[in-house]
Amino acid sequence: MADNKSEEQVMSLKLLVNKETNKVLFAEAEKHFVDTLCSFLTLPLGTIARLLQKESIIGPVTIGCLNSLYQGVANLNNSYFLYETIKEMLLQPKNSSEDYCNTLKFNIDDTEPTKYCICTEFVHIGCEFSLYTSNTKSCNCGSPLTLQVLPKPYCDGFVTNTTFVITDNIVVMPHSMHVTGYGLLKNYGIKSTSSLKQMTVNVTKEQVLDLLKCSLISKSPLTDMFLRKKPTLERSCIFSCNVQNSSNIEINVKLVIRKSDGKVLYAQGDEYFANLLLCFLTFPLGGVVSKLRGDCSLGSIERLYNSIVDIDETYFVSTEAKKRLVDPVVARQFNFSKQILPTQKSYVDYYCYYHGENFEQSITHNKFFISHEVWSNKRNRRELVLRNNSKTHKGYVKGLKIYVATDDLIISQSSPITSLNLIDCSGTPLGDLKEKVVTIGVKECFSILKAALTSTSALTNGLAHLLTEVKEEK
Ligand SMILES: [Zn+2]
């Protein structure tokens, strides 16, 4: 954020406004703006939670339980986590498409880019793996990893250099014979151009942050951003989650429920339960929308996602670029055994390129770079494999402990006294409480996630289908 140069940059956007209703009909945008809009889908929910709390023109924004989940992790004692680095990993989750996002004119993901280290002994002893992420201290061969290297960008954003049309609810369409200004006006029922006004706005990086905020909570982000200067909150009702259950996850959780209104005060479970809730922070937004397809009530994000799915592949810089947006995966550092969204491949092949002299000398003189792409210079090339130093691990928090999650997903370690505090805080008489053990599978996880994005009662709403009988029993 300290980069003043990039803050001065602006992206120009042309708006067509209906003067009578004071609403944006559509915007005409170039590649850079569309690239930035696309990048929203790659952001992990933890990054989104952090960005939403940042100051901007419209101010901090809260969605569902996302902020309480994030803040809860920030407040958790480091000693609960399996490794010292995990808390920071969850609060600054890596974007699995950071290689694409780092090439954008406006990248609002302020997570520190991954740096790689190369083993200098690779030339002499030819270690099997010689490229590591910078938090690894030494190579498998024992040599310290002191030589840092940044991968050379092999792409330039997501979409090709063409003109796009973006509707008020951020449906993106390439300008083509099928999508014309006249056709759009006809669709909107506009009879005369006299009711229209053209505007050109210069979008700053701060406004891009506002655009993200508005996209997540409003059905008319462009109008809210450029005309009203504040988002219109749209509260949507909860629908049941239509994700299919798969058999590999079954976790027993004890719920403490208030009988009078069916509210879940808190849930107790083992480390697997805590891990499943914590991993929400690592999920890319597009991955969540794709999983909750047709059922995701986050502002206009689902419309953006669906329009990207519909855009022909020829408008993207590559097949892979489109795939990164419609099927974004969880970054490889979060590859844990009960992950419920697909994770990035654990090993990455890189090519190491050097110029001039031989490989050994180029390493010593720092005259080399690494890239995923096969560059034209085939001669001066070595293949390297990025060693995944974050192997599949069991999860994030320590085992053999009981964890408790409140209805708004604040997670902490449970003790008999802390549980009583939670009951106390809710002001519920003990006679009005009931315990119930439920089994949570993948379906329930997504149901809790969906409820967490749309309400502050993730457990009560997300597990409603398991709670109906509680009310009958009382
Ligand atoms: Zn080595």
Per-residue pLDDT of 298-309, as tens digits, reads: 889 999 999 999
pLDDT higher than 70, residue 396: yes
Å from CA of 126 to ligand 1 middle: 7
Within 13 Å, how many C-alpha atoms sit on residue 365's CB side?
Answer: 10
Å from CA of 90 to ligand 1 middle: 29
pLDDT tens digits for range 57-87 = 888 999 999 999 999 999 999 999 998 889 9
Å from CA of 336 to ligand 1 middle: 26
Å from CA of 119 to ligand 1 middle: 5
pLDDT higher than 60, residue 247: no
Q: What percent of the chain has pLDDT over 90?
A: 55
Å from CA of 365 to ligand 1 middle: 18
Question: pLDDT tier at 423 (50, 70, 90 boundaries)?
Answer: very high
Lowest mean pLDDT among 70-79, 106-115, 374-383, 465-474: 465-474
Å from CA of 124 to ligand 1 middle: 9
Å from CA of 361 to ligand 1 middle: 17
Å from CA of 127 to ligand 1 middle: 5
Å from CA of 129 to ligand 1 middle: 7
pLDDT tens digits for range 314-344 = 999 999 999 999 999 998 888 777 788 888 8
Å from CA of 83 to ligand 1 middle: 24
* Amino acid code (one letter) for 9: Q
Å from CA of 134 to ligand 1 middle: 14
pLDDT higher than 50, residue 450: yes
The encoded tokens of residue 35 equal 């690239």
Å from CA of 393 to ligand 1 middle: 23
**pTM reported for the whole predicted model:** 0.90
Q: What are the CB-based long-range contacts (under 8 Å, 24+) for 195-198? A: 195/18, 195/19, 195/20, 196/16, 196/17, 196/18, 196/19, 196/25, 197/16, 197/17, 197/18, 197/19, 198/14, 198/15, 198/16, 198/17
Pick 267 or 135 by higher pLDDT.
267
Q: What's the pLDDT score for residue 390? A: 53
Lowest mean pLDDT among 87-101, 328-342, 415-429: 328-342
Å from CA of 377 to ligand 1 middle: 25
Question: pLDDT tier at 469 (50, 70, 90 boundaries)?
Answer: low
* Amino acid code (one letter) for 157: G
Å from CA of 103 to ligand 1 middle: 30
Please state, in angstroms and rounded to a whole number, the distance separating the CA atoms of residues 294 and 337. 28
Quick one: CA torsion of 180, 186, 190, 194, rounded to 10 degrees?
40
pLDDT higher than 70, residue 295: no
Å from CA of 355 to ligand 1 middle: 22
Å from CA of 405 to ligand 1 middle: 43
Lowest mean pLDDT among 296-310, 371-385, 431-445: 371-385
Å from CA of 113 to ligand 1 middle: 23
Report, as an integer, the average pLDDT of 444-472: 86
Hey, how many other C-beta atoms are within 10 angstroms of the C-beta on 309? 15
